Structure 1
Amino acid sequence: MPGIVERRSRIATARADFLRSGRAESTTVPGVVAASWQRSFSAGVDAATSQAAYHEDLDLTGRLMRSAAPVIARLSDDMSEMPLSIVLTDYRARILSRSETDRTIGTLLDKVSLAPGFNYAEGSVGTNGIGTVLESGQPLYIVGPEHFHEQLQPFACAGSPIRDPATGRVEGVLDISCLTEHSSPLMHSLVRSAAHDIERNLLVDRNECQQALFDTFIRLDSRTRGALMAIGGSIVMGNAVAQNLFEPSEQRTIHEHARYLMMGQSNPVDQIELSSGKVVHLRGTRIIVGHDVAGIVVAVQIVSETASLEHRASGRSYRAGETQPASLGAGPAVADLSVASGDGRSLLWHRACSGISDALRDDVALLVMGEAGCGKRSLIADLYRSAVPGGRTMVFASADLDGPRIRDAERALADTVDPTLFLFTNIDRLSIDGVVGLNDFLVGLAASDRPISIAATVSDADLGSGLPFRDLLPHFARAVTVAPLRHRIEDLPLLVAHVIANVTGGRRAVVSPAAMRVISRYPWPRNIRELEEALAVALLKRPVGEIQSEDLPGYCHSGASRLLSVLESGERDMIVAALHDAEGNRVRAAAALGIARSSLYRKLKSFGIDAA
């Protein structure tokens, strides 16, 4: 005991010297404490008067609270003979809960605001067993004069970070506090053990989709020696082999392609070339929970690491992140595509361009699949114009082919002399009569010697249906998929520039980095068509100059996973406008809207609004 008292006395003297000189005695004060004192001093913490800030927007029903509750209850029972307090905080050092075994300790902690709602970040109250744990990322035992703030001198606290076992991210801190005369170094071991118990509970307490994804990843990882990655929702995991084999940029490309394979209907097996020149084979296992696709686990195998310096016009494997080839066969450059199709850098874009170009060059009937609005029609027409100089394109919408209007296509066929592409759009929307008429037309075309090329578009969502258009599929020899915009994030900057140039007609207008971040985060369910509409709205608000994030429609700021009602959409737009007016300050935005901050936070989460 005399040794402990003497040590604390030396640290108290060193603290007083530090407050006067700004330098800590390295031989007396533990390095982690000295570093914390320096950070506290640099952050402007007043060792006598600083107060913890209070917050109302706490998540009191989430996974962390659920996982910690039984551990804290058990710890309270085990330590009932010792006057102490057990505190749980979130990852921002905001106190979520506090339980104590003695009323006196609770009263004393109330005086220093170590209570639910208050923020014990190091930058607010200096060195302590919560904020300093978050800053250092390690369990700590802070006693008496080691605290920066003099009001915390009577206390001893042991804190440990709580990490999500799946992501490694710190979710919060578990802290045990008591008066220094009741403290023991055993508190350090006790809080670490309890934090590990909470982490195990976090592993179990996942929603059904996350748990299914995690279980599949663990099971497959135990059976393979190769690279394995799991992707689903906001979760991305990779085993040690994957981390070692692939650079971060390569991993991102694989993740994005895995998401694309996950949402497809075909077997999730593919081979792609990365920007580094590596050719990798992907074999995926989709995770289905109920009627939902929860995620995908992909085994990744390197096929070749030989980088190709040239792209061939056919049979090529484009690299993610590289620009489109300058020419197609003997035709002119392909890079200058229309606004609707845009230029692109993504792997999926190049694969679609390559597949369509090859089919047009080989003059085989082509079926192009993809979501509505992803640019199928324009892409086909642009690539045909490049592949067949002087050729023309005739477009027939599904509505034009129902009933007697199929005769227009037949008359056009009879009058055709020059190379012509007959492009039939949205054939999945044809009625039975329309399918019969188009079938007769295609049969007649097969017997004709006219210089006609055939292409059609269809929504890939309808491929598994029993719609009448399926009777037309035998007429087509090749199929290509155009990926939705949400799987072509790399293409957005160039695509946005194309759209703006088309709408403005040469006016000086660009998109700010903040607005581009909003554009990149939004999933664009209606694809390019919706992007064009959003930028048109933004250009009405700011016809020249730099488009800001607040110029974009309210829905661009929303990542809601459900369809919002008209009333909810209006409320979302009001919240987005209030946040922009308040320059992102949520307190001011809530006041302007006349709602509590806790209500604003709930609505931000419900509408998927990123107010960062």
Structure 2
Amino acid sequence: MQESADRRSAIKLARDTFLRSGRTETRAVPDIVAASWLRSFSAGVDASTAQAIYHNDLDVTGRLVRCSETAIARLGDEMAEMPLSIVLTDHKARILWRSERDRGIGRLLDGVSLAPGFNYAEDSVGTNGIGTVLESGRPLYIVGPEHFHEQLQPFACAGSPIRDPLTNRVEGVLDITCLSEYASPLMHSLVRSAAHEIEQNLLVDRSQCQQALFEAFVRVDARTHAAVMAIGGTMVMGNAAAQGLFEPGEQWAIHEHARYLMTSRGGPADRIELPSGRHVHLRGTRVVVGADVAGIVVVVSLVEAGSAVPMSQAPVLAPALQAGAGTAMGPETGAEMRAAAPVVAEQPTRFGDGRSLLWKRACAGISEALVAAEPLLVIGESGCGKRSLVADLFERVVAGGRTREFAAEDLGDLHAEEAARAAVTERTLYIVSNINRLDAEGVAVFDSFLAALAGSGRPVSVAATVSDADLDSDLPFRAVLSHFEKAVTVAPLRHRTEDIALLVTHLLRGSPGQRGPGVSTAAMRVLSRYDWPRNIRQLEEALAFARLKRPVGEIQPEDLPGYCHSGAQRQLSTLEAGERDLIVTALHDAEGNRARTAAMLGIARSSLYRKLKSFGITAA
């Protein structure tokens, strides 16, 4: 006991010295704690006044909480005699759940905001048994003066990361906190055991989705002699017919389109042209587990190129299958599939040029509506090129036509008389962007214009763009949808990676001082692997950023923003994004040598590897 008290006194003295000088000069402080103090200090955490940040947008009923309930209950029973609290956080150190049977410890923790909704990241409150666990990626036992913040000095905490057994990604932290006087090294062992139990529950939970997909695949395969494929997450399966009928590049194209059907609106049935020129029908079944779509099973049938079969006549399987539980399946060889469908740089002449099925289909639908002067609604995610595509295609298909463009927020100049004033001989297209942003006044103006246009007899037509995220809402814009005769969906960039090379070349040719293709093969690979959550607008920003770093010559991978190198399956915080960019820069400076990169960043190689995996950094 005396030895423990002496050690804590030495650590307290070392902490006071560190706060004054920024240095730790004693072996009494564990290396991992000293490193955490330094990170906390560098992040600007004030050891006496810092406050945890509150968030009200947490998923407190999701998969992690669901899989933790039994483990937390068991842990609470095992430690029922101790005045402690059990805390569960997400991967950003935000507290999802706190459980205790002693009201006294609960009141004390409320006093330091260790409560649901608050963020206990290291850059927010300094060294602690949650944020430091996430930073180090390992279980930790933080006692008394090892905490960076003064208000946390009375407490001891043992925390353990919770990893998804399949992806190895840290999903959250399980933490036990009590007053230092009740601290016991046993806490460290118990919290690790409980975290492991949660990880096993995550594995079982994930297997339910995989097993449901497998069972659906087996049922569909038993009913048909056609090619059957199942796609979900990182998993794909195919029967013997699928393997024998389609080459790897064709399989990849089917997988990609099946993923699109799985997440898009409407029935999961379609006809597509494969890279080889062959045509197939896809008839799909979405497999649902609880509220989540686990995957899709598709029956793939070859058709003759000239035999147009209306999709309304194509048999569609049941829209969804409810789930069972079971085992996992093998991973998709996605890299091999993508390699079979390489991205090849070409010389586009217009924005509307593209090679993907979804882009060609959108272009055909829009062009048809423009030629017929049908009121057109263009649907898609923000930044996917809806307005630019409509304007480009109108210029192509209507000789001598003109366009007038309006944003939904600024319809002051769009009056009912506008249609009547249009010249009889000049085809005019009015493009109104983002009508989902119309307020009640804007809807009234637009409705009046559309009504006047319908009865004017003038060669004037209208196209409006809308975000697909708002289609199911009750926003005011829905009052004008009855004026439109045709709707076309523009797919997001992540579902048409074949178009990225064409699009990159087009965007660069349109930038100041750029005369031709200026992207290296390696940089194009990086661009093609990224998901582009903000679509073409984000791609344009990335190229502008790269051009600032390399005004002439070919853009190289190191010129691209750090997020382009990230395959992380989660939204990174501002701090995480900054850290990711520093790592990418250091990797390039070290020519990909990870040992040198870790030394340059002043972190352990194990920490670097963990961050590379967490941020999805795959290229240097």
Q: TM-score range by the shorter chain?
A: 0.5 to 0.7
For 2:349, the equivalent position in structure 1 comes to 336
Partners of 2:434 and 2:378 lie apart in 1 by: 10
**Aligned residue number for residue 266 of structure 1:** 266
- Find out whether 1:414 has 2:440 as its counterpart: no
| Residue type of the alignment partner of 2:349 | D
Query: Which amino acid in structure 1 is aligned with residue 498 of structure 2?
Result: E
Q: Which runs of 5 or more residues in structure 2 are unaligned?
A: 1-165, 167-201, 309-339
Q: Supply the distance in 1 between the matched residues of 2:342 and 2:365 (Cα, whole angstroms).
A: 17
- Secondary structure of 1:580's partner? helix
Question: Any idea what SS the aligned residue of 1:297 has?
Answer: strand
For the aligned residues, what is the CA RMSD?
A: 2.9
Secondary structure at the residue paired with 1:396? strand
What aligned pairs does 1:242-253 form with structure 2 within 5 A after superposition?
242-253=242-253
Kindly state the Cα deviation for residue 522 of structure 1 after the two structures are TM-superposed.
0.4
SS in 2 for 1:217: helix
1:382 to 349, 374, 392: 392
Number of the residue aligned with 1:15? none
**Structure 1 runs not aligned, ≥5 long:** 1-165, 167-201, 309-319, 324-333
- Which residue is equivalent to 1:566? 574
Amino acid across the alignment from 1:336: T
CA distance in 2, matches of 1:205, 1:443: 53
Question: Is this contact kept in 2: 1:321–1:345, CA < 8 A?
Answer: no
Aligned counterpart, 1:362: 372
Q: What SS does the aligned partner of 2:406 have?
A: strand
Q: Which moved more, 1:515-524 or 1:296-305?
A: 296-305
CA positional deviation for 1:506: 3.6
| Aligned counterpart for 1:551 among listed residues 540, 555, 559 | 559
**Residues 434/608 of structure 1: CA separation in 2 closer, same or farther (3 Å cut):** same
Q: Does 1:300 align with 2:300?
A: yes
Q: CA deviation at 1:232?
A: 2.2
Report matched runs for 1:76-115 at 5 Å: none
The answer for the alignment partner of 2:141 in structure 1 is none
Deviation of the 1:322 alpha carbon: 13
Measured in 2, the distance between the counterparts of 1:445 and 1:267 equals: 34
Contact 1:509 1:543 in 2 (8 A): no
8 Å CA contact 1:277, 1:307 repeated in 2: no
Indicate whether 1:237 and 2:237 are aligned: yes
State the TM-score, normalized to the length of structure 2: 0.58
Aligned-partner Cα distance in 2 for 1:388–1:590? 58
The alpha-carbon deviation at position 548 of structure 1 amounts to: 0.8
Give me the whole-angstrom Cα distance separating, in 2, the residues matched to 1:508 and 1:458. Answer: 33
Aligned to 2:24: none
Larger deviation, residues 497-506 vs 284-293: 284-293
Note closer, same or farther for the CA distance 1:362–1:507 as it changes in structure 2 (3 Å cut).
closer
Q: Distance in 2 between matches of 1:515 and 1:523?
A: 15
* Per-residue Cα deviation, 1:560-612 (whole angstroms, up to 9, x for no partner): 22221111111111111111122222222122212222211221121111147
Q: Show the 5 A alignment for 1:143-542.
A: 206-304=206-304, 336-337=349-350, 341-401=351-411, 404-407=412-415, 410-411=417-418, 413-417=420-424, 418-507=426-515, 510-542=518-550
On the 8 A contact 1:509/1:545 being kept in 2, the answer is no
Q: Distance in 2 between matches of 1:377 and 1:440?
A: 22
2:298 partner letter = V
Task: Check 1:362–1:411 CA distance in 2 against 1; reply closer, same or farther (3 A cut).
Answer: closer
- Distance verdict in 2 for CA 1:210–1:322, change over 3 Å: closer
SS in 2 for 1:601: helix
**Offset at residue 213 of structure 1 (A):** 2.7
* Separation in structure 1 between the aligned mates of residue 214 and residue 592 of structure 2, nearest angstrom: 35
Deviates more, 1:523-532 or 1:221-230: 221-230
SS at match of 1:424: strand
Deviation (angstroms), 1:273: 2.1
Measure, in 2, the Cα distance between the counterparts of 1:535 and 1:464: 34
> Structure 1 457/577 Cα, relative in aligned 2: closer, same or farther at 3 Å?
same
Q: 1:335 offset after TM fit, Å?
A: 6.7
* Shift in Å, 1:287: 2.7
SS in 2 for 1:296: strand
Q: Hey, what does 2:186 align to over in structure 1?
A: none
Question: Which amino acid in structure 1 is aligned with residue 268 of structure 2?
Answer: P
The amino acid across from 1:511 in the alignment is V
Q: 1:448 is paired with a residue of what secondary structure?
A: coil
Contact 1:492–1:520, Cα closer than 8 Å, also in 2: yes
SS at match of 1:349: helix
Q: Structure 2 counterpart of 1:547, which letter? A: I
Task: Decide whether aligned partners of structure 1 residues 269 and 604 sit closer, same or farther in structure 2, where only a CA change above 3 A counts.
Answer: same
Query: What is the SS of the residue equivalent to 1:400?
Result: coil
The CA deviation at 1:203 is 11
State the alpha-carbon separation in 1 of the partners of residues 291 and 204 from structure 2: 22
Q: Tell me by how many angstroms 1:297 deviates.
A: 1.5
- In structure 1, C-alpha distance between the alignment counterparts of 2:511 and 2:531, rounded to whole Å: 22
| Structure 2 letter corresponding to 1:585 | N
How far did residue 420 of structure 1 move? Answer: 0.3
* Cα displacement string for residues 389-436 of structure 1 (whole angstroms, at most 9, x for unaligned residues): 1110011110013xx5543x6446424442100111111111122222
The 3-state SS of whatever aligns with 2:533 is: coil
**CA gap 1:275/1:560 in 2 versus in 1, 3 angstroms:** closer
Q: Is the 8 A contact 2:380 2:489 kept in 1?
A: yes
Shift of 1:261: 1.1
